[in-house]
Amino acid sequence: MNVTIKTEGSLDRPVSRLRVFGERALDPGVALIKAADEIADANIARIESGRGMKKLAAVTIRKKTKLGQPTKPLQATKHLLASLRPGAPDNILKVYRTVMRYGTSDFHAHLQTNRPNVPKRRVISVAKPTKLKVAAILDDYLTEPFRD
User: pLDDT tens digits for 134-148?
Assistant: 999 999 998 888 876
- Regions of the chain where pLDDT drops below 70: 1-9, 118, 148
pLDDT at 135: 92
Which domain does 43 fall in, by range? 29-146
pTM for the complete prediction?
Answer: 0.75
pLDDT at 93: 92
Quote the CA–CA distance of 50 and 111 in Å, as a whole number.
Answer: 18
3-state helix, strand, coil in the chain (%, to 5): 50, 5, 40
Total domain count for the chain?
1
85 within domain boundaries: yes
24 within domain boundaries: no
20 within domain boundaries: no
